[in-house]
């Protein structure tokens, strides 16, 4: 997957979690949590969805890597390179 595809994937998962999420003013480098009102359960949903869709196993210690859109893409890029 390209960086843009990964970004779209994350946004699509977030949209499934919260259909009212507003991406218009979303800044890629700032924490998702503050901008979209996501809580720790929402991040768990993202982890579970990534495992379901792409068989990705993200250890709990790596959850902080999912903080912003940019950090998500950086973290997932090598893991999703062959998909």
| Chain residues in the site for another protein (CB under 8 A) | 17, 41, 44-45, 47-48, 51-52, 55, 57
Q: Is 10 left (phi over 0), alpha (psi -120 to 50) or beta?
A: alpha
Alpha helices in the chain (DSSP H): 3-17, 32-36, 40-54, 69-79
Contact 68, 10 (CB under 8 A): no
Of residues 25 and 40, the one with the C-beta less far from another protein: 40
Of residues 42 and 70, the one with the C-beta less far from another protein: 42
C-alpha R_g of the chain = 12
> Could you tell me the smallest distance in angstroms from the CB atom of residue 4 to another protein?
27
> Could you tell me the smallest distance in angstroms from the CB atom of residue 44 to another protein?
6
Of residues 3 and 51, the one with the C-beta less far from another protein: 51
């Amino acid at each position: 997957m390209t960086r843009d595809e990964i970004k779209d994937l994350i946004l699509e998962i977030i949209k499934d979690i919260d259909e009212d999420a507003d991406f218009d003013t979303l800044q890629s480098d700032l924490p998702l949590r503050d901008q979209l009102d996501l809580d720790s359960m929402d991040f768990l949903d993202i982890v579970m969805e990534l495992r379901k869709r792409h068989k990705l196993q993200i250890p709990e210690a790596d959850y902080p890597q999912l903080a912003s859109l940019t950090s998500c893409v950086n973290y997932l890029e090598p893991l999703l390179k062959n998909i």
